[in-house]
Structure 1
């Protein structure tokens, strides 16, 4: 019996395959080129249309409240750079995974680029400030990303086919040069887009000159030297602009020339009105020191600062347009689309001092603090009152519209609570034994602080010395001295408002209307 064996088919050469490292790099460079192209076109045409920043903005708008509060607690005012860095890291990982899936065919990598591009396009499209020209940046990002993916993949696949033949110009060298060129171009293009997006002119210079030379109808009294104890650990009374805390939802700071700004006041008013920056400066100007506080400030936290603001009285402006009966909310919107509601009764309260401010500590508002114009309302947390880059004010009702944070579980009205903070000693500090100065700040807007008490190691409350009061709308410094022996110690403080409201020791979270409790600092003496 004989058997026949089927002849074996000759196996062809294995399909070329890009090495893993190069494949991942191709994916990352393709997406980097897309991001850079989007950033550059946005800088040239419409800074608000950057797909990368639009995705970050979408994360801020859509993130669960618990995640938002975690980010604030964990990173403080660095939450925005951390968010952008995290977005970049996730994008890079996804891009690398797309590249690894494309070792033989560019299709998976192209699909990843398209999916990321569509996400960026959607983030731009659904921005509150979307305009037709905004589609150019995400379109450029998508086209460039796909083109770079296909080109680099082809070069990498060609280089993977084997050693260069004699006389070959060098397929691997061409790949290396191309990859380097894409990387450099991406960095340059992205950087140029960011620079262009901030504007190249000195938009604040002329306003600063006008602030410095403004004739004030209501100048603020000089701040006395006895209003703070910086030599003993308190901050200076007025916070330098560069040190002023910043909390908002804007990943990219709006840049708007003063001459392009206007504010529309409408809704439940007798006479709708739109005012320009020149209109604003033609009105009686006021100067007021005001302490601003964030509702997310934990007990003992640093999300509080004080500045001398220059602007116009908002109550007088509202009296002119005529607020109709029944309007209980002034719904303000910023240039970047953020919105909140402020109680009308607070804005219309005589002596409250609500302002449309354009100056801060003797110069124009910094861009990140609302240039050219923002709202300042003493006695209310910023999330319901301190709209930066304000451009629209609608008189309406709380039942008709809900502010950004109200929609996310925060309180409707947000009055600032009576609070104190210990600035010296710092937590876990080691000091020489003997006389110890405990110093800090307290605030209770708009009534002011009438008393601060300090307790050491659980002992009785003792009155602290108060600094000279500047205004009920500002913080007040305090200090106290104790003779203490070596070892560990604990100090806590509590404030009492000028009308007798004592800072509560009941511990409460920041949500929904501000944290409560007594600040407590542990330290030791040698």
Structure 2
């Protein structure tokens, strides 16, 4: 059993080490994880996000490690008499890792080296340790009582197994260090301050109601929600980065980071929300993004008649399709963003360049680690559309209760309830609140910053003692009120009234 576990560890670690040397994305462990993400049905992904939040990738990796460990234990127990079962099991896992690397969209000429080395090391380690253990067992059987066995003893088997485990640990650590050879923090520091030619105005007084329970208007970078498919955050050298804009354009463009930096930079305050956000969920944040207007770049390239979408690709192969007509709107403020809240983009949020398009859910508009943009038609489906999500996904009018929290206990009498509402690129007209199914009451709205950001609300309520239920609903400037019926996020975003149960005592 321990021999099979040690061989599995050696296989994974050696593959990770070779991947770190040649191609970090070809690590068999990560490739299998990425392929699992790609093949997982949307409802399962939604469940994982709902349960684990932004720790969903860690949960996947831990789960994979447990499955591999259990499989190794099973193979080890079945290999007591013969190494055939264990060899076949390791070979099967090796072939699975090889297949996962082969189907990755970022597969390159050196990508097969890591899974093949992993397969060879795993089989070799298992065969050697199994042979050593079998020889030790046979020597013990042949030895006379009180006589030392002539062959290897159990101590040697344990020491050899321990050496393999230590070697696997060193190899795995080495692979991790090599894979992280590009230091994104050092890269960000070299960029220095980003000073937009057109900065955002200062936040007006009363932009949020943080003192009574809403978020602060601007979300700090470290608190900004992160949802993507990358198990390993791509690390890209600024000097190596470029963006190719091609397809149905009059002039193909290739832009470097310096090209973008030398253009007039603008700063826009934008709220982003994930399509996976459940009713009352927290996958929504606001930041000041700095970048180049995407509309200007597309006009420079010359979008041809009949073009329908900008098919954008991340460095790890993820894709999104953004409607061209939205990107060309003069007041949309879509950006090729290089900065966030006054500093270069954090690695987790797309460094060095990402797309930000107000009013559209991120799965059709917010490509991180952007490296390619093709102007084309909707005949080419992007990553999430291939998996049953909508082709076009404008953000829906929604609201959320932040105070009171679910199952809070509050004093009877006067209660200040507060929350947020959003209808990006349309704007919030009003928010209404009701207690225990009673009459709707209009809440006080915070000072509006722009129609592409969230808006806070607050209201004073008289709350009698007992178990209570509060609900909210928002209406946008088009007169669209969020519907009462709850609809799951698939395929184009959740809808429904948010409600909170709490208790008033006194």
Equivalent in the alignment of 1:63: 40
> Quick check: 1:293 aligned with 2:273?
yes
> Quick check: 1:456 aligned with 2:435?
yes
- Which of 187, 193, 203 does residue 212 from structure 1 map onto? 193
Equivalent residue runs for 1:363-374 within 5 Å? 363-374=343-354
Equivalent in the alignment of 1:29: 6
Equivalent in the alignment of 2:222: 242
Q: 1:259 to 1:181 in 2, by over 3 A?
A: same
- Which of 187, 204, 209 does residue 169 from structure 2 map onto? 187
What is the root-mean-square deviation of aligned Cα atoms in Å?
A: 1.6
Aligned residue-pair number: 500
**Is the 1:449–1:472 contact (alpha carbons within 8 Å) kept by the matching residues of 2?**
yes
Equivalent in the alignment of 2:181: 199
Equivalent in the alignment of 2:420: 441
**Is the 1:208–1:363 contact (alpha carbons within 8 Å) kept by the matching residues of 2?**
no
TM-aligned CA deviation for residue 39 of structure 1: 0.8
Equivalent in the alignment of 2:239: 259
TM-score by length of 1: 0.92
Give me the whole-angstrom Cα distance separating, in 2, the residues matched to 1:185 and 1:223.
55
Report SS of the residue matched to 1:132.
coil
**Is the 2:268–2:289 contact (alpha carbons within 8 Å) kept by the matching residues of 1?**
yes
TM-aligned CA deviation for residue 40 of structure 1: 1.2
> Quick check: 1:171 aligned with 2:153?
yes
- Which of 356, 359, 370 does residue 390 from structure 1 map onto? 370
Q: 1:269 to 1:483 in 2, by over 3 A?
A: same
> Quick check: 1:149 aligned with 2:139?
no
Report SS of the residue matched to 1:375.
strand
Report SS of the residue matched to 1:179.
helix
Equivalent in the alignment of 2:283: 303
Cα deviation, 1:294-344, whole Å, max 9, x if unaligned, reads: 111111111111111111000011011100011011111110001111000
Equivalent in the alignment of 2:92: 115
Report SS of the residue matched to 1:133.
coil
Runs (5+) with no aligned partner, structure 2:
none
- Which of 249, 254, 259 does residue 269 from structure 1 map onto? 249
Equivalent in the alignment of 1:129: 106
Equivalent in the alignment of 1:431: 410
Cα deviation, 1:349-382, whole Å, max 9, x if unaligned, reads: 0110000001111111111111110000000000
Give me the whole-angstrom Cα distance separating, in 2, the residues matched to 1:436 and 1:336.
49
TM-aligned CA deviation for residue 170 of structure 1: 6.5
Q: 1:206 to 1:182 in 2, by over 3 A?
A: closer
- Which of 227, 230, 233 does residue 210 from structure 2 map onto? 230
Report SS of the residue matched to 2:112.
helix
**Is the 1:418–1:444 contact (alpha carbons within 8 Å) kept by the matching residues of 2?**
yes
